[in-house]
Amino acid sequence: MKRQAKPAQAPEKQKPAPDKLDLNTATMEQMKSLKGIGRGRAEEIVRWRDKHPFENVDDLAKVPHVGDMPFGELAEVKAHFVVRLASEAAPPIAPEPEKVDVNTANVGELRSVDGIGLERAEEIVKYREEHGKIRDLNELDELPHFKDEPEGQRAPIKARLRV
């Protein structure tokens, strides 16, 4: 009996691996966890995307201090990233964490917010004691530990706070 060949199937469109970081939404902490990306490169990526949202991972070559990496290292770093279109965004796995009230939270509660360390938390409490209630989260931008950070790093912190 002659074996019949199976009909050729069209190649399936591969979806990005779920563990890859989206260049347009990854936090600095997530980026710093990757080999080849330290604080400086993570900051440059965030600065770049604040002005030029990534259209694809090849745009990494345009980012200062990232694009000048040796070719093999850059290719290895690019392999950890993806650029998802809004329509491809993964559904949230867990409900959004409750926002922390910047006017009533103590240092410990403020530190529970990603990106707020001990210094920032103490700074916020001290500011409240000296100036009264914070009326607008943009007031935080004037605090010493906030004002030198790029907006792309401050925005996710402020998104977890409320007045």
Tens of pLDDT along 4-50?
555 555 444 444 445 789 999 999 899 999 988 999 999 999 999 98
Vertex 147, ends 141 and 148: CA angle to 5°?
A: 155
Residues 6+ apart with CB under 8 A from 100: 109, 110, 112, 113, 160, 161, 162
pTM over 0.75, yes/no:
no
Is pLDDT at 121 greater than 90 in this prediction? yes
What's the distance, CA 158 to chain centroid? 13
Q: What counts of helices (H) and strands (E) characterise the chain?
A: 7, 4
What average pLDDT is seen over the chain?
A: 83
pLDDT at 153: 83
pLDDT at 89: 54
Burial class of residue 83 in the structure, from the number of CB atoms within 10 Å of its CB (0-12 exposed, 13-18 middle, 19+ buried): buried
pLDDT at 11: 43
Q: Could you tell me the pLDDT band of residue 67, with boundaries at 50, 70 and 90?
A: confident
Q: What is the arithmetic mean of pLDDT over 76-86?
A: 87
What is the CATH code of the structural domain delimited by 21-88? 1.10.150.320
Measured between alpha carbons, how far is 108 from 39 in angstroms, rounded to an integer?
A: 25
Q: Could you tell me the pLDDT band of residue 82, with boundaries at 50, 70 and 90?
A: very high
Residues 6+ apart with CB under 8 A from 119: 145
Instruction: Choose between 88 and 162: higher pLDDT.
Output: 162
Is pLDDT at 146 greater than 90 in this prediction? no
Vertex 24, ends 20 and 25: CA angle to 5°?
A: 70
* Residue 5: C-alpha distances to residues 8, 9, 24 (Å): 9, 12, 45
